[in-house]
Each structure stands twice: as C-alpha cells, then as structure tokens.
C-alpha cells in the first residue's frame, strides 16, 4: 500500500468517526464504537508504523534517518511520506480522542449538540484551539456543578 493511500484511508476513517461523534446519538455503544473503532485503531496504526520505523522494518519512503530528539531530526522525519503519514495519524488519533472527551464533557454539563459543534469543528481542524476554546467555555458551568 502506498503512503498516499494510507494517508487517505486514515483521513477518511477519522472523518467517519467525527461524523459519528457529531451526528449519531451518544449512547454507550456509539461512544464505545468511536473510542475503540476510531481512536484505538488510529493509535494501533500509529504504533505499528512507529515500531516499524524504529526497527527499520518499514521504509519511510525517503531519505529517512529522522529522530524525535532535535528539531532537525523531526524535520527530517516529516520530510518523508511515511514520516508525514505517521505524524498525521498521531494528530488524527489525539484530535479524535480530544473531540470525544469534549463531546462527553459537554453532554455531562448540559450543553446542547448545536452548542458543541463549533468546539468539535475547531478540534477537528486545529486540535489545541478547539480544546482551549472548550476549556474556557466549560469553566463557568463546571464550577457551578462543583458547588451543587
């Protein structure tokens, strides 16, 4: 399988999980599906690729030789199709996990689905921006619930 194909598959897979998170009823089965069929499988793909890169059993598709210990090493890693795909799957997994947490937290704090959409969208598009926005907005309600 080419790196382009794996990149696209991971994107589509994550996007389907985001659609499920935003559109489906959030019962225990749907939430478990998003966690295990979405986040878990993206994490598994990341782990397999990372181990493959570190052991040399998977070719990064370029010069390779990057590392996580220096900026130059990370730039070299991301300069390969495999390294970029690895990094992208990392983002997809963590952003989806964060979106799942935001959705569950918002449900528990009584925020309607429509009110959640901007935070979920921001998390999908720019992970930490969505999380920061949610943390700021949720604070008041969280404090009120803690006092009750």
User: For residue 23, which phi and psi values (nearest 5 degrees)?
Assistant: -110, -30
Structural domain boundaries in the chain: 3-147
pTM: 0.90
Residue range 93-116: mean pLDDT, rounded = 96
Report how far residue 95's alpha carbon sits from residue 10's, in angstroms, rounded to the nearest whole number.
Answer: 13
* Average pLDDT rounded to a whole number, residues 115-135: 97
Nearest-angstrom CA–CA distance, 14 and 38: 7
For residues 78-106, average pLDDT: 95
């Amino acid at each position: 399988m080419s790196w382009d194909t794996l990149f696209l598959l991971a994107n589509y897979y994550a996007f389907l999980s985001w659609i499920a998170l935003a559109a489906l009823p959030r019962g225990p089965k749907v939430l478990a599906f998003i966690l295990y069929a979405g986040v878990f499988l993206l994490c598994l793909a990341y782990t397999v690729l990372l181990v493959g890169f570190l052991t040399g059993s998977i070719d990064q598709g370029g010069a390779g030789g990057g590392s996580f210990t220096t900026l130059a090493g990370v730039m070299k890693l991301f300069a390969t199709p495999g390294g970029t795909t690895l990094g992208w799957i990392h983002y997809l997994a963590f952003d989806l996990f964060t979106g799942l947490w935001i959705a569950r937290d918002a449900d528990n704090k009584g925020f309607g689905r429509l009110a959640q959409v901007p935070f979920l969208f921001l998390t999908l598009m720019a992970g930490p921006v969505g999380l920061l926005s949610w943390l700021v907005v949720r604070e008041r309600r969280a404090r009120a619930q803690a006092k009750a």
